Amino acid sequence: MDFIEKIGRLDRRIIFLTVALAVILPLFFPLGLPIEVTPPVQQLYDVIEGLSEGSVVMMSIDYDPSGAPELQPATLSILRHCFRRDLKVLMLGLWAPGVPLGVQALDEVGVGEFNREYGVDFVNFGYKPGGAVTLVNLGRDIHDVCRQDIYGTSVEELPMMDDVKAANDIGLVLSMSMGVPGSDQWIWYYHARYQGNLATAQTAIGAPRYYQYLQTGQLVGLVGGMKGSAEYERLVDHMGLATTGMDSQSVAHLLIIGFVILGNIVYWAEKRRKA
């Protein structure tokens, strides 16, 4: 068996081991590579910068723990930006398993870092079942859909909600999404009826689908994958887990490209030999 044949029959456990090393080693020995901000992320940042003080940002947690490594850093960074700009945050979610992630993010940033007051500066209505139909109702009458927050407090007893009744009271809607129901439903059923600013944060695998909506202006910003989260961390000048993960992702991508090239060398060498 010659070298080409040996490479062609490479045990996949060796591939798995190299991937593990490519991901783990940069976490212990950071490369500190510079992170450039791309236009879709910059656009979202600029929209939030442009909102007047006291505007309401409605953030929908449409992901679960499997998408959290990519999306939670974006959620934290955007919350930091909102509270720094003295914006108010209304949180809810179309995915039940995402509720604790939203609670943790608001506790960490809203209470922990910015000392904001629950009910006055931010509220959390938790999981809202019904997907598209709920979104249609939400834009028409927020109080009807969000009658109680996650702690059982009536919406009428939350001071922040006094002036937040329908879609036109919201400055920006953010769908942090990794599937269905998620950004598609926000675009098709909420934005199509009520317009306004809508942006999304997506896992890397989902982001390419949303460039078409960015072009048409249906989305005012797009944070794609861990890279997008790292870009937002850079914009708010608070380096977190996404920035740390970028070195690992860089090395992993180089490794995949290396394997693709190697696989093609083997393929062409074998083809040439057979011919």
Which of 5, 6, 16, 159 touches other proteins by CB under 8 A?
A: 16
C-alpha torsion 3→9→14→16, nearest 10: 140
Question: By CB under 8 A, how many residues form the interface with other proteins?
Answer: 68
Residues 138-177, one symbol each (x = binds other proteins by CB under 8 A, - = not), give ------------xxx-------------------------
| Least separation in angstroms between CB 144 and other proteins | 9
Residue 106 near residue 122, CB atoms below 8 Å: yes
The number of C-alpha atoms within 13 Å of 193 and in the hemisphere containing its C-beta is 17
Main-chain phi, psi angles of 181, to 5 degrees: -75, 150
The set of residues, in sequence order, having a beta carbon less than 8 Å from that of 168 and lying 6+ positions away, is 194, 196
In the structure encoding, which two tokens stand for residue 212, read together? Answer: 């078409």
The reply on whether position 180 binds other proteins by CB under 8 A is: no
The reply on whether position 217 binds other proteins by CB under 8 A is: no
Which of 104, 143, 196, 269 touches other proteins by CB under 8 A?
A: 104
The reply on whether position 131 binds other proteins by CB under 8 A is: yes
- 3-class SS of residue 264: helix
Residues 219-258, one symbol each (x = binds other proteins by CB under 8 A, - = not), give -----xx-x--x---------------xx-xxxxxxxxx-
The set of residues, in sequence order, having a beta carbon less than 8 Å from that of 40 and lying 6+ positions away, is 211, 214, 221, 222, 223, 224, 228
Q: Which is nearer to other proteins, 218 or 238 (CB)?
A: 218
Residue range at the interface with other proteins (CB under 8 A); choices 46-54, 126-134, 155-163, 165-173: 126-134
User: How many C-beta neighbours within 10 Å does residue 186 have?
Assistant: 27
Residue range at the interface with other proteins (CB under 8 A); choices 48-56, 84-92, 134-142, 162-170: 134-142
| Least separation in angstroms between CB 171 and other proteins | 25
Residues 44-63, one symbol each (x = binds other proteins by CB under 8 A, - = not), give --------------------
The reply on whether position 212 binds other proteins by CB under 8 A is: yes
| Least separation in angstroms between CB 186 and other proteins | 15
Between strands 122-127 and 88-93, the pairing is: parallel
How far is the C-alpha of 255 from the C-alpha of 259, rounded, in Å? Answer: 6
| CB burial string 18-51: b at 16+ within 10 A, e below | eeeebbeebeeeeeeeebeeeebbebbbebbeeb
Q: Where on the chain is the footprint of other proteins (CB under 8 A)?
A: 10, 12, 15-16, 18-20, 23, 31, 33-36, 38-40, 64-69, 96-97, 99-100, 103-104, 107, 129-131, 133-134, 136-137, 150-152, 204, 207-209, 211-212, 214-215, 224-225, 227, 230, 246-247, 249-257, 259-260, 262-264, 267
